[in-house]
Amino acid sequence: MSQVVWNSHNKDSFDRNWNDFLLNFGLADNKWLSDLYEDRHIWVPIYLDHHFWAGMRSTQRSESMHSFFNKYITPNRSLIQFVKQYDNCLGSREQAERESDVADFHTVIPCATKSSIEAQFQDAYTHAKFKEVQAQFRGKANCITRLKNSALGYSVYEVGEQVSSSIFNKFVVTYDSVAAKVKCECLLFELRGILCRHALSVLSFEQVSQVSPRYILERWSKKVKRRHTHIKSSHDEPLMEPRSKRFDQLVFRSQNICEFASESEELTAILHRAYDNVMAEMEALKAKRKGTSSLSHEDTNLESINELQRPPRIRTRGRPKNRLGSKLEKQIANGTKKKKTKVLSEVKVMFFKFVAIEFIFLVNRLANV
């Protein structure tokens, strides 16, 4: 059943494979499967070619959440422990994101091929997403491309992919050289946002050196600005706190303005014009300050912080083991020892007094009983 659902490349092949699946296992009269087939337009991937899912599935959110929190939280935890461990969960996630950002900006994953298109994705995408794209470039080696027809810059290709020693899957790929569009019937890009190996094979056949920006999604760019980093957390860096406060103030005032402007079209138009003017003014000011330093790729302003360099570290010879202390040093050391001994003795006396009083109180209480 999994093969039928995920490896049917068009609606006709799905219907055909589904019927063969029911006949082979004697499930033609199964009501549950019959109901599933009636609702195929809302769950079978080939019927959802007009929806973008970023590679996610219906159960992925809960499964990933469970696997993440199970590392820190167990059912026998108390409520206080839960709050502390939840805070540790957020801290570990933030730390992992920072480490990932550092790796994206300061390390490079080598390209698997000599393709300039692969280098284009290498420069734009994060390491995690580039590895997925790179898998498609490797799979391109198993594809054979054949031109079926072409007219006025619009070409239709048949790409055969060898999945085993004796099995070839065929895919129809169209390429519009005028609009720089490529589409494969496997719909990998439409569903997951990644160009499939079949489309890459056609682009290689057409000797395309750079893909259109429409195929490089900003959501997976290493330079994307994360909006959720403005949310307050106990693990926030001190340098980010002023920005978070400013963000909260702006959001509060913007919400009031938006509620007022949404009452009519005229007020909404006034607010849009004001936003455009303010945005142009802020971009002009930011362009004048291109030389300012930043905390991260999110352009955090650190103008008010001075960069202090550590003093040069000089290795000393150290104090000899048999160094003779001066008379003053010995007197100070002896005085400190006497003070410590005196304090300890006083503490012991107070402790025994307290124990004696408690014992007398307990004896009197038992006598009264």
Looking up tokens 């810059």 gives 153
Question: Cα(130)–Cα(127) distance, rounded to whole angstroms?
Answer: 5
Mean pLDDT of 206-230: 82
Question: Cα(159)–Cα(197) distance, rounded to whole angstroms?
Answer: 10
Per-residue model confidence (pLDDT) at position 299 = 45
Q: How many CB atoms lie within 10 A of CB 251?
A: 10
321: confidence class by pLDDT, cuts 50, 70, 90: low
pLDDT at 361 exceeding the cut of 60: yes
Question: Cα(193)–Cα(136) distance, rounded to whole angstroms?
Answer: 12
Positive or negative: CA dihedral 282, 285, 287, 289: negative
What percent of the chain has a predicted confidence (pLDDT) above 70? 71
* Mean confidence (pLDDT) of the chain: 79
Mean pLDDT of 177-188: 89
Q: Report the SS3 class of residue 121.
A: helix
Name the nearest CA neighbour of 117 among 202, 189, 203: 203
352: its two tokens: 């025994």
Q: How many CB atoms lie within 10 A of CB 175?
A: 23
pLDDT at 29 exceeding the cut of 50: yes
Per-residue model confidence (pLDDT) at position 93 = 82
Q: For 219, phi and psi rounded to 5 degrees?
A: -60, -25
**Angle 241-261/265-288 helices, nearest 10 degrees?**
150
Sheet hosting strand 154-162, strand order edge to edge: 143-151, 154-162, 168-176, 181-184
pLDDT at 303 exceeding the cut of 50: no
Question: Cα(53)–Cα(4) distance, rounded to whole angstroms?
Answer: 20
287: its two tokens: 């362009």
Q: Which of 142-156, 291-305, 350-364 has the weakest average pLDDT?
A: 291-305
Cβ distance 118 to 112 under 8 Å? yes
Per-residue model confidence (pLDDT) at position 169 = 85
Question: Cα(70)–Cα(80) distance, rounded to whole angstroms?
Answer: 17
Cβ distance 301 to 292 under 8 Å? yes
pTM of the model: 0.57
Per-residue model confidence (pLDDT) at position 304 = 42
Per-residue model confidence (pLDDT) at position 12 = 87
Cβ distance 300 to 239 under 8 Å? yes
User: DSSP label at 142?
Assistant: G
Write the single-letter amino acid at 103: A
Positive or negative: CA dihedral 201, 207, 209, 215: negative
